[in-house]
Amino acid sequence: MPLDGVCPLYADQAINAASSPSEPPGRFTCPCCGQGSIDPRLPAIVAFLQEAAHEPLTITSACRCPAHNAAVGGSPTSSHLKGLAVDIACNSDALRYTLINRAMQLQVSRFGIGRNFIHLDIDRAKNARRIWVY
């Protein structure tokens, strides 16, 4: 699977990491209804980040249906609605740095930083090179 828009230097590493362990069912679907389709680049990116972190990563949000997005206070234009964003639990500065640094190597260019998670966003319809805090 080609990772369109991902730095070619790291794309093969991301693909190899993604093909190692299979994703648990439902890890990237909406938690309230099980629906949603994630962009195939995101599981590959998450697998690459997990390998770099040397520890399991917890996905706290990926695809969201409109009802779930509204229930969690998500933006009406959230990239989660399009399957183009993922939130990863992150409780240390060192892990936060590792995840953001490695994601930038894959040309991920939209990040949200929360107290206990980071948001990775590959939505090309939105401005690139953005980091915001929640």
- pLDDT of 103 over the 90 cut: yes
pLDDT confidence of 26, banded at 50, 70, 90? confident
Domains of the chain: 8-133 (3.30.1380)
Token duo for residue 84: 């183009």
Question: In angstroms, how far is CA 86 from the centroid of its own chain?
Answer: 3
User: Which residues on neighbouring strands pair with residue 117, listed in sequence order?
Assistant: 89
Q: What is the share, in percent, of the chain residues with pLDDT greater than 90?
A: 80
pLDDT confidence of 18, banded at 50, 70, 90? very low
Q: pTM for this structure? A: 0.82
Between CA 131 and CA 129 the distance in angstroms is: 7
pLDDT tens, position by position, 36-61: 999 999 999 999 999 999 999 999 99
